[in-house]
Amino acid sequence: MQNLLDFNLLQLTNWLVGQGEKPFRAKQVFHWMHQSGESDFGKMTDLAKSLREWLSQAAVIHAPGVLADRTSEDGTRKWLFDVGTGNGIETVFIPEGNPACGEAAEEDEPQRYRLRPGAVDGPRYRGTLCISSQVGCALECTFCSTGRQGFNRNLTVAEILGQLWHAVRELKKAGYGERPVTNVVMMGMGEPLANFENVVTALDVMLDDNAYGLSRRRVTVSTSGLVPAMDRLAQRCPVALAVSLHAPNDGLRDRIVPINKKYPLKELMAACQRYLQVAPRDFITFEYVMLNGVNDSPEHARQLLELVKDTPCKFNLIPFNPFTDSGYEKSTPESLRTFRDILIQAGYVATTRKTRGDDIDAACGQLAGQVADKTGRVMKRINMEAA
């Protein structure tokens, strides 16, 4: 049976037309599926009875099942989804502000926000969902818990979208209003651009006004630097872009972000500049995990300024979140502050990401899920450590 969560609107339209249905039926099904969160075709009351009956036999609306659902003391919520054969992926929801109040403005418009009907003034609400794109990750960034788990496979469109579909349904029940997810970041398990077609099809649905209606500015794809795929994303679906940089020179980045050996910093920065020509924001966000004694010195900050001097950008400095046998330590508050101040004094926006959900292992770099490693990397590492 066909899982309709695998389709964007055009694909669903073509599929239904191929069955002899009118094209407008696709929008009706799309509304029920994504805006109402309905999975029972029998309840889609504006569809013809014959169509409802046929869909019940030919199709399903099926998101991955939930293996675990945990909520942090700070309100962060993490789901572990079952994607078969012993594999699990993790999705994190980060709420900020009061959902009864107005929706937060864009990041570069902090003075404005939209009030919901009947809402009162108060802390502006932002609900960010961090979505996974792969079971594990093949890029082997040395400071990332996900990367330590090995790699199994790419997620399907339904498995990517199913995370958003399920989260919206559950968060509405929990009282987060009719628009509980205002922002999506493709920063969960995996490298999104290594699963390009499935991720972009899922983005189509996130942006579609007949589904979730998110703006391109509120959907962010994070990449470790797959340069050809960055160029493809610019042509196909230019959303906000975040680049996992983590080092200001090739020697260091080769060691902690190995994909740099294939696409070194000169090529990566050129790709960032090309992306800015079509990006919905006029800057690239550079993510930088602060590792004590590794990449956090004042000299590293000055090298970073030299690296990005021709690329409009902002910096998101991320305190390292330790995990077992990581081999790294979190930068001291003094080192982080000095590093950030050097960037700010040079005229850049540099923020320190708040650590959210670390008590449920939902913080940045902590997502591990359950991965049946097909790369043999886990066993290879165990053998090397035992030698």
pLDDT in tens, 236-286: 999 999 999 999 999 999 999 999 999 999 999 999 999 999 999 999 999
Top pLDDT among 190 and 358 is at: 190
**306 Cβ partners below 8 Å, 6+ apart?**
248
| Residue 325 token pair | 């046998």
The residues annotated with a catalytic role in the active site are 90, 364
Q: Within the chain, where are the H helices? A: 9-18, 24-30, 49-58, 145-148, 157-173, 196-207, 227-236, 250-256, 265-276, 298-307, 333-345, 377-386
Q: Identify the pLDDT of residue 230.
A: 98
Question: Band of the pLDDT at 291, cuts 50, 70, 90?
Answer: very high
Q: Please compute, for residue 61, the number of CA atoms within 13 A of its CA located in the half-sphere on the CB side.
A: 22
- Stretch 13-42: mean pLDDT: 97
- More confident call, 379 vs 46: 46
Residue 346 has phi, psi (to 5 degrees) of -85, 0
**Burial grade of 299 (CB within 10 A; 0-12, 13-18, 19 or more):** exposed
What is the amino acid identity at position 92? V
Does domain 2-60 sit in CATH 3.40.190.170?
Answer: no
pLDDT-based confidence at 359, cuts 50/70/90? Answer: low
Q: Residue 335: pLDDT band by 50, 70, 90 thresholds?
A: very high
Unique residue bearing structure tokens 């449920």: 360
Q: What is the mean pLDDT of residues 50-55?
A: 96
Work out the mean pLDDT of the chain and round it to a whole number: 89
Do the beta carbons of residue 343 and residue 301 sit within 8 Å?
yes
Which residue type does 238 have? P
- Is residue 323's pLDDT more than 50? yes
Give residue limits of the domains in the chain: 2-60, 65-386
User: Between these two residues, 1 and 111, which has the higher pLDDT value?
Assistant: 1
What is the percent of the chain where pLDDT is above 70? 88
pLDDT band for position 100 (cuts 50, 70, 90): confident
Closest CA to 369 of 68, 72, 6, 5: 68
Find the mean pLDDT for residues 287-310. 97
CA 193 to chain centre: 11
DSSP string, 137-205: -SS--TT-HHHHT-EEEEPPHHHHHHHHHHHHHHHHHTT--S----EEEE-SSS-GGGGHHHHHHHHHH
If you average pLDDT over residues 366-387, what whole number do you get? Answer: 55
For residue 358, name the pLDDT band (cuts at 50, 70, 90).
low
Q: pLDDT per residue over 125-147, tens digit each? A: 999 999 999 999 999 898 988 77
Q: What is the pLDDT of residue 187?
A: 94
In the CATH scheme, what architecture does the domain 65-386 have? Alpha-Beta Barrel (3.20)
Please list, in sequence order, all residues whose beta carbon lies within 8 angstroms of the beta carbon of residue 387, skipping any fewer than 6 positions away: none
Least confident of 123-127, 156-160, 367-371: 367-371
Quick one: average pLDDT of 2-16? 98
Distance CA 266, CA 58 (A): 50
* CA dihedral (336, 342, 344, 348) positive or negative: negative
Residue type, 169: R
- The mean pLDDT value for 107-126 works out to 56
